[in-house]
A and B are shown apart, each in its own frame.
Chain A
Amino acid sequence: MKYVIDRLIQLIPVLLGITFLSFAMMQIAGSDAITEMYADKGAVSVEIINAKRAELGLDKPFIEQYFIWLGGLVRGDMGVSYVSGKDVFDTFISKLPATILLTVLSVLLTILISIPLGIIAAVRHDRFTDYFLRFFSFVGNSMPNFFIALLLMQLLAIKLGILPVISSGTSIQSAIMPTLTLAIAMSSKYMRQVRATVLEELNKDYVVGAKARGVRNSIILWKSVIKASMLTIITLLALSIGSLLGGTAIIESIFMWDGVGKLAVDAITMRDYPMIQAYVVWMAIIYVMVNLVTDLLYHLLDPRIRLGVAE
């Protein structure tokens, strides 16, 4: 319990840091956003620009602006989009479920692919199966995800014609290719970690002891080794969600998946600063929260830590 409170207290400076950095960055950009807003309207007097500055609160001291903005953030008020004029936070929240769906599907598929393959590679280590699987994970690791996306598009949509090239809405059919892309990229990296974790467990003394006592290999593997490695495996997976959150942006815009990643890329192209800001801040907060929950669960699930036994 004390640990939980400690972690929550540690969270405060991190959250302040994230929000401050996001704010400062957009502020540097934001000063010319005003000029940009009027750029296509011909010559605009300094008075109008200053009036707009005051309206947006850009004439106040930096720190004061930050706290006003932070107050807005907490209330879910992050201003309106420069492009659509709609509330930024509402737009972000409305696109979030699509990204979460994509993330959850990719993580599930990654688990289905990489955990069994990683275990097989570890059990058959330094044999043909292991080399074969490691080769594939190496190839997958060397391919940028947008390249995987285009390859899948070429193969599944154009050559075989099973799936539509561009998704329409957020149906299961249109989720297949983005999910596959993200899962292939993630699995290649993750399979290596599963293999390493299981291999490390297999080399421990108790495994040799169990073997010497004549315990069957399958029982050692399922009852001890995998059970012991699972905790590390799940933790590593949860921690990799961060790279997935950032990675969805490219994939979403390739497959026209209507989530926050595509929203952010579009906002960047349009220089829609409030939108970019909302994306950065909220993705970072989600990421920090996921990591916190992972860490707490790890401590809850690990009997050594839960019962306070030193290793």
Chain B
Amino acid sequence: MSTPTIRKQKIKRTTVKTRLIIFGTLAVLLLIGSIFSSYLTPYDPYLQDLSNAKAAPSMEHLLGTDRYGRDMLSRVIIGSRTSIYSTLLLVAIITAFGTAIGVICGWFGKWIDVILMRISDMFLAFPGLVFALAVAGVLGGGLQNAIIALAAISWPKYARIARSQTLAQKETVYLRAAKLSGSSTIKIIFKHILPNIMGPILVTSMLDIGTMMMELAGLSFLGLGAKPPTAEWGSMMSDTRSLITIVPWVTLAPGIAIFISVMIFNLLGDTIRDYADPKNREVRS
């Protein structure tokens, strides 16, 4: 490799590192902010004050008030907890479940593989949100059911990645050696396969956080997720939708909150993907 290319890559690598630090910090701040959100609200987010309903943004209420006179800024802040943590929970569930299925398929193969993969094909045959809508519809609204609905359509992707990664690992010499020397299946899966395949899976989960947050908010917007009065960004937007002609800020503020959070997680996801890209890593060795 010629020197200019190496230098170019080194520069790229440093910028990726800088980006990682910046976006990582932003994401951590967002998470910490949402943990302590109840201490950050200027007003009680559930306190109704009908005499001051539908107020435009002012010094007292920076984002105005909703139909019941609840302070929007406080509701947006407290809503971060529901919106962000339910998304993280959802991503954790699909990552764990999909990986488990994928590793089982890849390691055991044969009929288990055939059956589980056909089942995952069935879920993949449904277009995007259509199936999630139906699951949420059948189970009825509620945040928990919305998470189940989205998990039901999202796990097959992880199962496929985990399966192909496991199959690749299975062919390696060290694993054959481990098997020959009598390591138990459990030990092989947990000590050898999982640590080696988690990289690409975790990158996928990071990239999925933004999308999942939007889809969860979408279900809540349709009334199939978090139920009022729980402050959640998607349901807050549909709640205040009719106010868009009078006080547009009240409707748009939760949307901007979703937008900013999704953007931070997307930027972080992209950066982690670039960081993990072996093309950028060659230089290190």
Contacts and interface: CB of A to CB of B under 8 A. Distances in A.
Q: Do A and B come from one complex?
A: yes
B237 A147 contact: yes
Given A143-B258, A280-B131, 6 more contacts: A17-B122, A26-B138, A145-B218, A243-B128, A267-B137, A280-B130
Contacts of A79: none
Contacts, number: 148
B222 A143 contact: no
Q: Does more than half of chain B's interface fall in helix, strand or loop, or is it mixed? A: helix
A18 B140 CA distance: 21
B118 interface: yes
A144 interface: yes
B217 A144 contact: yes
A6 B248 CA distance: 55
Contact of B137 (A13, A141, A245, A276): A276
Given A243-B128, A245-B127, A147 B137 contact: no
B237 A146 contact: yes
A144 B138 contact: no
B214 interface: yes
A300 interface: no
**Which among A146, A245, A279 has the greatest number of chain B C-beta atoms within 10 A?**
A146
Interface of B: 118-119, 121-123, 125-140, 210, 214, 217-218, 221-224, 234, 237-238, 241, 244-245, 248, 251-252, 255, 258-259, 262-263, 266-267
A264 interface: yes
A22 B266 CA distance: 33
B16 to A, nearest CB: 15
11 contacts: A14-B122, A18-B126, A20-B122, A139-B263, A146-B237, A151-B255, A243-B129, A246-B132, A246-B133, A287-B125, A288-B125
Given A18-B122, A144-B258, A147-B259, A242 B138 contact: no
B218 A13 contact: no
B43 to A, nearest CB: 24
Contacts of A288: 125
Contacts of B222: 249-250, 253, 265, 268
A138 B271 CA distance: 13
A204 B121 CA distance: 34
A154 B210 CA distance: 24
B129 A247 contact: yes
Contacts of B125: 14, 17-18, 284, 287-288
What 4 A-B pairs come out closest when comparing CB atoms? Answer: A246-B129, A268-B137, A246-B128, A17-B122
Contacts of B223: 269
Contacts of B252: 147, 150-151, 154
A154 B250 CA distance: 12
Interface residues of A, number: 51
A271 B138 CA distance: 8
Given A17-B118, A150-B241, A264-B133, A142 B210 contact: yes
A70 interface: no
A249 B251 contact: no
B87 to A, nearest CB: 12
A106 to B, nearest CB: 14
A44 interface: no
Contacts of A14: 121-122, 125
Contacts of A17: 118-119, 121-122, 125
Contacts of B221: 144, 146, 250
A288 B258 CA distance: 32
Given A154-B248, A265-B133, A283 B266 contact: no
Interface string A117-145: 00000000000000000000011011111
Given A25-B134, A264-B133, A268-B136, A280 B126 contact: yes
A280 B237 contact: no
